[in-house]
Amino acid sequence: MSSSFPLLEDLIRRAQAAFLGLAIGDALGATTEFLTPSEIRFRHKIHRRMIGGGWLNLKPGKVTDDTEMSLCIARAIDEAGGWNLRDIAEHFAGWLRSKPIDVGATCRRGISDFIVKGQLEKPYSDWDAGNGAAMRMLPVALFTLGDEDLLERYTLEQAHLTHNHHLSDAGCLAVGKLVHQALLGVKLPQLHTIVRDLGSQQPKFRCNHYRGEASAYVVETLQTVFHYFFSTGNFEECLIGVVNQGGDADTTGAIAGMIAGAFYAGEPMPRQWLKKLDPTIKAEGMILAERLVRLSPLGRKLLEC
């Protein structure tokens, strides 16, 4: 029994760091969302402080739909003690009715279709290749830790509530796999294998020559995340690089934050970012991260040993 608990504790610590990373990247990137790199340089030189503002005029440390939709999934799993797609959709619906400060058009349409028609899976659409499903992958990855088949099944289920497109599917799965492996403490070359496999299966994701685009198109979102995650040496450098690329910076920041948070969990995060982050979001994220890991196949296995 004693040999299992250190591993479980490490998984929980990494999961909590991933949730903090998601929220920090979201809040940090909200300041530079929709700006170009040159506009960011003019206004901030290098954007590295959690100051809020941006087009949403947020208070410092406040998060957007990336973190809020992730919390919807995490709450639904925690309340049910397992996976129930309708429960997740109901949480999305409640969130949309609360008039959130930001919600993407594709997410809004998908949730509205559930509210009006009870639809749990959108038909395939050429217009659904955005990043709105990938940004909320963290709770799916935490809950399915230890079971790749469940990761694939639940990833596609939650994605198709709002986004049904092969590029969105592939991107979501890659993010989930990266989080799984980062939680297990693997080295960078093993993580890079996941990205190479994604590029082999879906050539549009190849990012050998990063072009600097960071839009809401899931391909450009993940190319930005991958470029800075693999070309920097710590959590802070990764997130600063990503959010200073502008574009859909809250989402690139959130995705980079969840992966880098798990990977660099043994290193301290910048104190100023943690201090500024919304304390309610921080506290709930820490609690839910632990609960999802304990509910996961690997977590349950470790608890039984």
Confidence of residue 213 (pLDDT cuts 50, 70, 90): very high
231: confidence class by pLDDT, cuts 50, 70, 90: very high
- pLDDT tens per residue, range 157-198: 999 999 999 999 999 999 999 999 999 999 999 999 999 999
Q: Is the pLDDT of residue 57 over 90?
A: yes
> Residue 266 is which amino acid?
G
pLDDT higher than threshold 80 for residue 4: no
What is the mean predicted confidence (pLDDT) over 49-56?
98
Q: Which residue has the tokens 């072009």?
A: 211
pLDDT of res. 3: 55
The mean pLDDT of the chain is 97
Q: What is the pLDDT of residue 208?
A: 83
Q: What is the mean pLDDT of residues 56-68?
A: 98
303: pLDDT strictly greater than 60: yes
Mean pLDDT of the region 9-17: 97
Residue 237 to residue 118: CA distance in whole angstroms: 43
Q: For 46, phi and psi rounded to 5 degrees?
A: -125, 125
Query: How many C-beta neighbours within 10 Å does residue 209 have?
Result: 7
What is the structure's pLDDT at 305? 79
- Report the pLDDT averaged over residues 80-88: 98
| Average pLDDT of the residues in 28-35 | 98
**Model pLDDT for residues 245-273, shown as the tens digit of each residue:** 999 999 999 999 999 999 999 999 999 99
pLDDT confidence band for 209 (50 / 70 / 90) = confident
Burial of 266 from C-beta contacts in 10 A (0-12 / 13-18 / 19+): exposed
10 Å Cβ neighbour count for 124? Answer: 10
| Residue 1 scores a pLDDT above 60 | no
| pLDDT tens digits along 118-164 | 999 999 999 999 999 999 999 999 999 999 999 999 999 999 999 99
